[in-house]
Structure 1
């Protein structure tokens, strides 16, 4: 019998690839579908006679709820297990879309797609990413890459599909079908096998011993005392993730300000590119294909960025800032795109620069705070991004309502991206402290793997001054 107190070792393969498949499905059903919801924008606005600002609240609430509650999803998975957390998240996500299919007011979409589906996304996406990271060590970068590719593959194929579903079944039928697609995350959750179960299945393979001992991870039904203990462990796990002192570090505060401005504008281009194309009298399917083109460029860019070796003369901070600046310039020039070929060129440039900075954001944060404070920093980062996501798209919609032109929304996004990209370069102005030049770091470097992205970092266990 295996020692119950021994820590299970990641198999770095085996059933882990099935866990990667589960993460691929979850990534496609969450981030992939979210990035394709721009197809419904004009339909919702016309159906409920709502302004652009009111319609934008749907995607805004969905993203903000997902980001706000992502730490809750991770803590819940650590308490009751990853499998039930992901499966419940799939049920909630499906319920949100199905209920929205019967909406008669815009407020119903806020509650259904925004709140209920957002809660489901928070439970599934963060938990799936975390369990993939636990199953791999040497191959973690490859596993994470295959997981996040699900979002890119889904966002390539779903926009034309959603347009077809609306043409054939109407927007209500399309939402019902999307709700059915969300149920695939229940299957993905069923593929999750806790590491404790994997360990005991490998060790306890004698006659009559075929059970899977995952009682350390999965909550057993029992008395109210067990439920109370589980709730206490959940609250402790959640609170342990939050160390708000990290925002007092000047370099971290500056970088978080850049991420806030970036997230404030991040959803705007994907949400308004299809309405702008239709306003330019571009056919529906051609307009929907712009999101697919952008997603293809995004995928290629992410793979290319992952292959770029580290260079001390051009750090990840430089890469992050330059990519954001180029993304800002691209959006500032987007009002010049008046034809379909010009919009395709804009979509390619936007996807390429978008995919270039996304993989580096967590890397830069880890270099600033070190491995011990990284979980707290990620939780705070998600909360800040949640606030930004809640305000950004409605503000852009308000600009369109006031100007009756989508040019203003893209100009606002471009200015925000450009300013967010310039802030990281201010970190170069921070000179090293005297202690940094006279003392060697006492802590040995540790390898830090980002759950959401694919880079491997070597950072000392203290604040890294850039």
Structure 2
């Protein structure tokens, strides 16, 4: 009974990649590309929205902040829904909500109404993003780093394609026509969501996600009860198959084994009932455990990773919003300024593709993240140069370093918490990213409104990146003192 339970749990992740796993990687790549396409549209529409609604920099930047923040927060909701409903249904729902949000922005008349449509689109983006990342993790155990790199590179593809295409749409169709075409492009997320079906081993086992979760949540006391019951059954079998010559001796030994098994069952049952009674008296603890928040007590490195997610998101989203206005301030044409974001997308695409190679070259994932944080800070500083070539190099390097950072961070989340908690903990991680994404553009816009200087904004954002780099040196220290999390699928402590 115990063995079958462990086998069913381990079956949630494919030991060997299947043919459909390749389809899932391609679908995840395209879905993440459309998500990045939608998110990057805020940077291209920034000046048009500011002119259309006659708002200041902070109020217009809040559109991207709201979409980014809600997207990251809804990833946690998507993670909980994935455990109950599966990746396919959640991916379809996410695509529909994103399309409705972008479509509704075509008819808005005030900036407040645009905030509302940004919320709807952000909810759909978060659910679809979590679905794409978790679907790849479920289909790959061996070669997951490579599969994750190929899927995450879709974000770079979307960031690369969005600026020139949306700028072309703005030139030909205007603001509202461009938004209408963008919503039609984003609607393809629904199609890709239908491809995130269960791994083959899940379907063969005949277990749904709810029954699998019940198996994986069995405590050590539950397994003791199973072992005690097995001892009683073995003792009874031994009693029935004993020979006549030593019947008296075996009979006494059998009854001794039965009494020991029954005493173990009674003691473990008592402990289990006491724990259940204690859990009923503490609904907060029950909710804490159900949402997976107990991971913070066991994995200090995951807690630090969430803090770094918040800090690193501030300059990432804050600097990206001001690349085009910064280029225009030194006399660069609007079309050429939009190409800077395409260079950022190209760098992000390459960074997400090569992150697996960097990890394999005798460099730990933590060291790679630290190097990338320092490189991102240097790239933000380079944005202060009054030269289009320097701005192009800085934009490319910023995309490269941040692309590697966020792709490796996903691998670290899976390493620190295991596969069973991956969807929920990925949602928790992106909540921290969303908080940084909410604070970053608004804070950058506030600094610009006060100083009226893009250089001041970039100096402040670069300092935040360097702080993030310094904090990463705490990972080895936390590894030695944390309890660790036992992954039931690999029987290893993460």
Q: TM-score, normalising length from structure 1?
A: 0.78
Q: Which residue of 2 is the match for residue 123 of structure 1?
A: 127
**1:444: how far off?**
9.9
Distance 1:326 1:442 in 2: 32
Deviation string for 1:357-383 (max 9, x for gaps)?
223324445566677776665343222
The whole-number CA distance in structure 2 between the counterparts of 1:405 and 1:334 is 12
What is the 5 A alignment of 1:178-197?
Answer: 178-195=182-199
Deviation of the 1:283 alpha carbon: 1.0
Farther-moved stretch of structure 1 (147-156 vs 166-175): 147-156
Matches within 5 A, 1:100-115: 100-112=105-117, 114-115=118-119
Aligned residue for 2:263?
none
Among 121, 132, 155, the residue aligned to 2:136: 132
TM alignment of 1:376-387, pairs within 5 A: 377-387=425-435
Matching of residues 3-14 of structure 1 within 5 Å: 7=11, 10=14, 12-14=17-19
Q: Which moved more, 1:166-175 or 1:270-279?
A: 270-279
Is structure 2 residue 87 aligned with structure 1 residue 82? Answer: yes
CA deviation string 1:396-446 (max 9, x = no partner):
11111122222222122111111111111244567956x99xxxx998998
How many pairs does the alignment contain? Answer: 412
| Cα distance, 1:460 vs structure 2 | 4.9
CA 1:392–1:21: 2 relative to 1, 3 Å: same
User: Is 1:276 aligned to 2:326, yes or no?
Assistant: yes
Which position in structure 1 is the counterpart of 2:74? 69
Residue in 2 that maps onto 1:330? 379
Q: 1:217 Cα shift?
A: 6.3
- Structure with greater proportional helix content: 2
Aligned to 1:389, which of 437, 443, 464?
437
Tell me which of 313, 328, 332 is aligned to 1:263: 313
**Residue in 1 that maps onto 2:179:** 175
Structure 2: distance between partners of 1:180 and 1:425: 45
Whether the 8 Å contact between 1:196 and 1:214 is mirrored in structure 2 is no
Rounded to whole Å, the distance in 2 between the matches of 1:147 and 1:254 is 25
How many angstroms does 1:94 deviate by? Answer: 0.8
Q: Does 1:400 align with 2:454?
A: no
The answer on whether the counterparts of 1:21 and 1:147 sit within 8 Å (CA) in structure 2 is: yes
Question: In 2, distance between residues paired with 1:16 and 1:397?
Answer: 43
Does residue 461 of structure 1 match 2:493? yes
Q: Judging changes above 3 Å, is the alpha-carbon distance between structure 1 residues 180 and 446 closer, same or farther for their aligned structure 2 residues? A: same
Kindly state the Cα deviation for residue 309 of structure 1 after the two structures are TM-superposed.
Answer: 4.7
Structure 1 residue matching 2:319: 3-state secondary structure: helix
Task: State the distance in 1 between where 2:453 and 2:348 align.
Answer: 26
CA spacing shift, 1:354–1:377, aligned 2, 3 Å: same
What residue number does 1:343 align with?
391
Q: Alpha-carbon deviations, 1:86-119, whole Å to 9, x = none?
A: 112111111111110111111111111x210011
Change (3 A) 1:79 1:344: same
- Give the SS at the match of 2:17: coil
Cα distance, 1:300–1:262 mapped onto 2, change above 3 Å: same
Q: Is the 8 A contact 1:241 1:375 kept in 2?
A: no
Larger radius of gyration: 2
Question: 1:35 Cα shift?
Answer: 2.8
Deviations 1:205-238 (A, max 9, x none): xxxxxxxx989469xxxxxxxxxxxxxxxxx999
d(CA) in 1 for partners of 2:420 and 2:82?
21
Q: Tell whether the 8 Å contact from 1:316 to 1:364 is kept in structure 2 after alignment.
A: yes
* Alpha-carbon offset, residue 138 of structure 1: 2.6
1:140-155 map, 5 Å: 140-155=144-159
More deviation, 387-396/240-249? 240-249
SS for the counterpart of 1:192 is coil
Asked if 1 retains the 8 angstrom alpha-carbon contact of 2:130 and 2:426, the reply is no
In the TM superposition, residue 354 of structure 1 has moved relative to its aligned partner by 1.9
Q: Is the 8 A contact 1:25 1:184 kept in 2?
A: no
Q: Which residue of 2 aligns with 1:208?
A: none
Structure 1 residues 48 and 244 mapped into 2: Cα distance closer, same or farther (>3 Å)?
A: farther
Q: Cα distance 1:363–1:14, how it changes in 2: closer, same or farther (>3 A)?
A: closer
Evaluate the alpha carbon distance shift between residue 257 and residue 131 of structure 1 in structure 2; reply closer, same or farther with a 3 A threshold. closer
- Note the C-alpha offset of 1:274: 0.9
Q: 8 Å contact 2:170–2:178 — kept in the other structure?
A: yes
* CA distance in 2 between partners of 1:9 and 1:251 (Å): 24
Post-superposition offset of 1:249:
6.2
Which of 10, 18, 26 is the matching residue for 1:21? Answer: 26
Structure 1: state its 5+ residue gaps. Answer: 201-212, 219-235, 448-458
- Within 5 Å, which residues of 2 pair with 1:445-456? none
* CA–CA separation in structure 2 for the residues paired with 1:81 and 1:444: 20
- The aligned residue for residue 319 of structure 1 is 368
Taking the aligned partners of 1:442 and 1:237, their CA distance within structure 2 comes to: 19
| Runs of at least 5 residues in structure 2 that lack an aligned partner in the other structure | 211-285
CA distance in 2, matches of 1:177, 1:275: 24
